[in-house]
Each structure stands twice: as C-alpha cells, then as structure tokens.
Amino acid sequence: MVIFTLLIFVGSIWSVEHYASRLLHADMQRLLGEQQLQAATILATGVSNGLQDRLKALETVAAAITPALLNDKAALQSMLQERRILQSLFNGGIIISTVDGTEVAEYPRSSGRAGTNYRQFNDLTALLSDGKPLVSRLITSPTLKAPIFALGMPIRNPQGHIVGALVGATRLDKPNFLDQLIQGFQGQSGGYLLVAPQQRLVITASDTSRVMEVLPPAGASLALDRFIQGYEGSDVFINPRGVEVLASARGIALAGWYAAVILPTAQAFAPIDDLQQRMLFATLMLTVLAAVLTWWMLKRELSPLLDAANTLANLPHRGQPTEPLPIARNDEVGRLIGGFNHLIESLTQREEALQESETRFRSLMEQIPGVAVQGYAMDGTVTYWNAAAEKLYGYTRAEAMGGNLLQLIIPPDMREGIRAAMQHMAQSAEPIPAGELLLQTKSGSRVPVFSSHALLKPVGRAPEMFCLDVDLSETKRAQEQVRQMAFYDLLTGLPNRRLLGDRLSQAMAASKRNGVFGAMMFLDLDNFKPLNDAHGHGVGDLLLMEVAHRLNACVREMDTVSRFGGDEFVVMLSELSKDRTSSTDQALAVAEKIRMNLAAPYRLVVKQTGQADTIVEHHCSASIGVVVFVNHEFSESDILQWADAAMYQAKDAGRNTIRLHQTS
C-alpha cells in the first residue's frame, strides 16, 4: 500500500509538471510567432516599397525616351550616364534594348557587350510582349558572372506600342538595397531571409553565407513546403541546416517572394526551458523526499528481509557449488527463502543445459560445409576457427588460435576501419552489418566473401564476435562471364552493339561538354563470303579475329572497335579536335590506315586434330563509311545510319575505298 501510494503521488506531481510545461511552451510559441509575423510584415513592406520605387524611377526614365532618341545610341548613352539617381538604385547596371531585345545603351559601359541580344531571357521576352513591369527571376548573369535579379519597364511610342525596354539589374554579391533593409533589422534577435519560392532560392539573408542558397526539394520539409506554396503565418520546423527554428513569413505580391523571420527554438524558448528546469528540479526534490521517507518506512517494516539479503550477498561466486540458504523460521521470510532455494536449484540446472547447448553449437559450426566460422574476443584475438575457415584462409586451427583478426585476414588498408567497427560494437552491442568484403589469405592473395557477424554475450563471460564468411569467388567469376557475354562479342572479344551504343552515348556527352568532335566508321569486308564458301566458317572466324586484331592496332586506347554483326565492324574515334576540318582530316587518315592494313594479305593457320596445320592465304579489303559528329546535333541512330549509308557508297564506288558522309 505504501509503494502504491508513492507511485500515485509521484505520478501526479510529474503529470502536473508536464502539463504546465506544455501549456507555457504553446503560449510562448504563439506570442513569439505573432511578434515575428509583425517583423516579417514590416520587412516585406520595405522590400515591396523598394521595388516599387525602382520601378517608378524606371517608368519615369522610360517615358522620357522617344523613338527618335531610341535610335540615337550616343544620346541614349549620354542620358544613362547623366541619370545619377537611376544609377544609384541599380548596382548591377542599366541597359536599354530595342523591341527585338538588342542592347543599344548601357551603364556602366563594358567592352564586348554592345549589340548583345537578350531575347533569350524569358522574363525580358515577356516584358517586350505584354508590356507589364518586370521583376525577374534570380539568374546568374553571363556577363557579370554574379547572381542578379532585374526590374524593367517598357518603352512606348506615342501610339502606345512597345518599342524597347529599360532594365535595371541588382547584384546580390555586392551591397544592395535588400541588404540595407535586412541590416535595418540587425538590432532584433533571430535571422531574416528573402526567398524566391518559384525557384526555391534564398535571395538575401542576414546570414550572408545563405545568399543564393538552394532550398531542399519538395517533400523534404512539409512546413517549408507550406511557406513555398504561399502560407503566411508561423510554424516550427527543422531548417535546411538541421536546426529547429520558429519561422514566420509574409508574402511580397509584387515580386512573388516572401520575407521570413527565423529564430532558433533553443533561443526562442530559453525562458521556458529555464522555468521547466526549475520545475523539474522542484519535482525531483519532492520525488526524492517521498522516496527517502518511503524507503525508511520499508526498511523499518522489512528488516527481516534485509537480513536475508545480506546472507544472499555472501553466496559463493559463480563456478563454485551453491549451497541452499538456511531457513531460520517458518514464517513469510522463511517461505521466501525456501522459494529462493528452489530458484537456485532451477538456475543451476539451466546453466548446465546452457553449457551443453554451447557444446552442440560449436560442434554444429565445425561441421557446416562452405561456411568459414571464426570466433573473436573483442580485442580481435581468435577464439574459434572451423575447418571451412582453414580451407578458405589457409591458416590451420593451431596457427589461427590466439592470433589476431587484423593481422590474419584483414588487409592493411582496411585495418583501421575494422578496428573502429569492433570498438563501436563493443560499446554499443550492435553487430557489424553484413556485407561483401575483400579479405586476405595466408598467401597474401585477396578473396571476396560475404561476411555476417553475430555478437554473443554468455552470462558471466566476456562477449565474443562470431563471423560467418561465404566464399564469393565462383559467384564473382560467373558474374564476370555473364558481363562478358552481355557486352562483348564471343568470337573476337570486341565490344558488341550494346556496349558500342553505351560508349557512343558517352562520347556524345563528352563532346557536348568540351565541344570536341568525334567520328564513326562503318566497315564491311569486301571479299569475305567467298572465303566462307571455299573453306568453311571456321576459317572465316579466323579471318574475323585477325581483322579485329588489325583494327585494334590502328586506333588509340580511348577509341572503340566493335563487331556490329557478321563481317561488319564499327570504329568510333573520340576526342579528335574542336575544328571540324581538322577532325575530318584525322578521321580520314585513320580510315586510310585501316583500309591499307585490312587490304594486306592474310595468312590463316588452320589447326586440325591429328593433321598438320594448313595455311590459307586470302586477300580481303574493306569498304569504309565515315561520319564526323559533335555535341548532340544528331541522334545516335542518325550517326550509325549515315555511316552505314557512306559505307554502301564506298561499295558502289568499287569497294576497298572510303566515303565521308557530309552532315552539314
């Protein structure tokens, strides 16, 4: 009854403490959220006003530009240089373009930009098309090499038609009016952000390291997604930097942005946390007081059991015979000690059964075929080594026992990682995850295994790690054979069509990156069928293997020689030159080298069981079609078809010749 009453008392105190803490936390979050939302509203209003002021300035200047002035580049340039106020509003410069997007004036002047056409930018195209004021997306300027956003106004003629555009750019990597607005809030706690939700980009922030930061993709944070979708209010979530924050956001309709105020919850709820700690301390003290009083009462009432406990503490250590406890009197304590004596007897029987089970376990581990089982102490000392482990790693049981795992089968480059993993397992009791490993045998060679691990913790003994390793050598060899059959021609050992397609895709992707030309050659042997008809397919196979050898000798290691099928071969040359003419000359030179090598006489040695070798001489040339390609201007199928067509042109021209397909 005393213990039950204590549990009710302690449970009531802790429930009240928990409820009060939650209530205070919720009130503090609501109040702070309202304050932050007000600050976000002020910041959003300031940004909106700043954008409107700049659009108004652009509108005033655009209204002063007449069609005649628009056609006078010198006058336009002079006007921009005189507009000091306009220059101070845009730290990224100002440009004037015609209705087709061509720049006619700019400030500041920069060499090489005169006449640049900006029609490629969708935002400017929309401005020149519908005439609405422009607040652009965030882009990286190809001329400034910096992140910017632009504001723009249309230039109209007296009839109201759009004849050009006046655009001002704001650079985010240099001081700008957004930074000035953000700095105005530095006296307050927390951080401040301007976000472009359509692009999931941070425009600017009180923490300058977050400028142009890409926010996590949709689905990574539900609360962040709500703000991106236009929610105006407050919420608590984990920000992209892994910190729990209280965030409030207010939209900026003019630009489609939103202003956000963020405050780490550790800072926001610091007063509540302090109060919670005080309440926790008071609750803990009351709990300790109640526990001490209860313990004193229990000790007084149950002193006979304490005497029995002292007797139990002096029982013999494990491994020595366990004698029954003496029963001094036949009352409740006596019956309790009698029950404990019965428990000791049961535990002794279970320990004997456990030892017998362990013996059977080790016998089973010894007889498992094909599974190398090893036991290790947590410092790596070998405690068990079965026959399969002897066969797999080459160490006999006598050689392995007492040795160390790291020196026996762990390669030097893996030892630090394995040592750290074993230390972690010893501390956390979590076994090392199963997986493929490349371990070391006694001879020093490496063997691939699938290794599983189990941690055993016998009662009263140090824990042991057991490793079960299965040899994967045959599996790896079978996988390699399957890969060879899937991607290589079995007769010649050359890449087949599938691997050729993959390498052509890689060559085209590399060409797109560096602008270097490649070339594709389609070859067909001119005099192959008569050899098959006269001497059989076995001799034909010898010729195909010799052709493959000669082709490989004519190209670089980075190039690809493939057997396309039958007596057709394909040669792909990579990374020729950035100039089409030079690349074409290189490709034709290699094609001519191939044509001459293949046209040389063939001496094919035919081996027959029980008979002398036979020499078959044969003359066989090749018709070659060549295509030079760059980037992704054509598809892979187009390139192969054109090379094939050029090859047929070579055949029609009398064979043993080369034809180049002109792609442009």
Lowest mean pLDDT among 48-52, 114-118, 381-385, 520-524: 114-118
- Structural domains present in the chain: 64-171 (3.30.450.20), 310-359 (no CATH), 368-476 (3.30.450.20), 488-661 (3.30.70.270)
Average pLDDT over residues 530-544: 87
- Give the model confidence (pLDDT) of 464-488 as tens digits: 888 888 888 777 776 666 666 667 8
pLDDT tier for residue 188 given thresholds of 50, 70 and 90: very low
- Give the model confidence (pLDDT) of 617-652 as tens digits: 899 999 999 999 887 667 888 889 999 999 999 999
Strands 103-107, 134-135: pairing kind? unpaired
**Cβ-Cβ contacts under 8 Å for 193 (sequence gap 6 or more):** 202, 203, 204, 205, 206, 210, 259, 260, 261, 262
Q: Which residue has the higher pLDDT, 316 or 412?
A: 412
Lowest mean pLDDT among 441-445, 481-485, 577-581: 481-485
- Give the model confidence (pLDDT) of 161-171 as tens digits: 999 999 999 99
The pLDDT of residue 154 is 94
- d(Cα 659, Cα 664) in Å, to the nearest integer? 15
Sign of CA dihedral 617, 618, 619, 623: negative
The pLDDT of residue 187 is 45
**Single pTM value for the model:** 0.43
pLDDT of 295 > 80? The answer is no
pLDDT of 304 > 70? The answer is no
- Give the model confidence (pLDDT) of 342-370 as tens digits: 777 777 777 777 667 666 666 666 667 67
What's phi and psi for 336, nearest 5 deg? -65, -45
The pLDDT of residue 647 is 94
Specify whether the CB–CB gap between 651 and 527 falls below 8 A: no
The pLDDT of residue 554 is 94
- d(Cα 414, Cα 436) in Å, to the nearest integer? 13
- Give the model confidence (pLDDT) of 554-565 as tens digits: 999 899 999 988
Average pLDDT over residues 380-399: 88
What is the token pair recorded at 336?
């309790």
Among candidate residues 573, 622, 562, 616, the one with its CA nearest the CA of residue 598:
622
